[in-house]
Amino acid sequence: MKHIKVKIILLSLALFAMQCIRLRFGIEFFINGLIDDIGYSLVFLSGIFFTHVFAVRNVKPTEKILNVAEYEGLKESDADMLRRVLDNQQYKMIAIDFNQKEGSIRNRLNKIYDTLGCADRIGFLTTYTGFQIVYEPIITTSATSEESIAPETEESIQSQSI
């Protein structure tokens, strides 16, 4: 992206020089070639435009969700704090809402940012702007399901053997 204006100007000059080569065959040949090139360019660019519009309309936006419960040590109140940070509330206002001191909120949010892999508030806002912040604990039922299945299987084996 460096020197983009210079590159565009040089490309335009090169294309103009290529067009001027046609002048040696006469002005009519030059004008007909220029009209042809402009027509081809318009057809090509309109094809790109409509392809892009069609592609953008058919892309379903993925909902960006940050589940705070997936990170160890974070609580539901932390998710509420992060929602307020995304709403651009100041630490002072968040502290008033949580009945805590501003320094406590600032320290807690810095620990949360560190847990999420962000350096600070700006890093968090840059990374997670547009995300929906939720707290949905992940429930693992593997241990409880094994315990509930084991007695049933023993009973069913005994009843089948009788």
Looking at residue 104, what is its pLDDT?
Answer: 94
What is the rounded average pLDDT for all residues in the chain?
83
- pTM exceeds 0.85, yes or no: no
Summarised one tens digit per residue, pLDDT across range 145-156 is 444 444 555 554
Within its chain, how far is the Cα of 152 from the centroid?
Answer: 47
Are 95 and 105 spatial neighbours (Cβ–Cβ below 8 Å)? yes
Question: What are 66-106's pLDDT values in tens digits?
Answer: 899 999 889 999 999 999 999 999 999 999 999 999 999 99
Residue 28 DSSP SS3: helix
- In the prediction, which pLDDT does 59 show? 58
Distance CA 95, CA 103 (A): 8
Closest CA to 105 of 135, 80, 134, 131: 80
DSSP 8-state assignment for residue 72: T
